Amino acid sequence: MFALSANCLFVTTMPSYGYENGVSTSQLSIVIAATSTCSVVSKVLNGFIVDRKIFSALMHASLALLMCATAVLVAALIPGIVGNKLY
């Protein structure tokens, strides 16, 4: 449920934020499309894993948190993905 609300919040607030910061509509549409695609794929994979009961609920939540943290670190370390660099 949180992922759904976070994606909806991103899609509804990002256009105005992008407009204020000079982001073009084509760049913004690519980011929103990529975010929505990742959301759909992750929901399908999550449903498959939960239905198969491959992991316990605690292991499932731990792996999801680890993957999210890894994605954030990778996005922060690769120049050009985010505006600010860590180094």
Q: What is the mean pLDDT of residues 55-78?
A: 81
In this prediction, residue 5 has a pLDDT band, given cuts at 50, 70 and 90, of low
pLDDT of residue 37: 83
Residue 82's domain spans which residues? 55-87
Q: Which residues pair with 79 in a beta bridge?
A: 82
* Together in a domain, 1 and 36: yes
* Together in a domain, 13 and 46: yes
* Together in a domain, 22 and 45: yes
* Together in a domain, 3 and 24: yes
* Together in a domain, 47 and 24: yes
**Torsion region of 41: left, alpha or beta (phi above 0 gives left; psi -120 to 50 gives alpha):** alpha
pTM for the structure as a whole: 0.57
* Together in a domain, 21 and 59: no
* Together in a domain, 6 and 48: yes
Nearest to 40 by CA among 67, 3, 83: 3
User: Considering its fold, how many domains does the chain have in total?
Assistant: 2
Give Cβ neighbours of residue 86 (< 8 Å, ≥ 6 apart): 76, 77
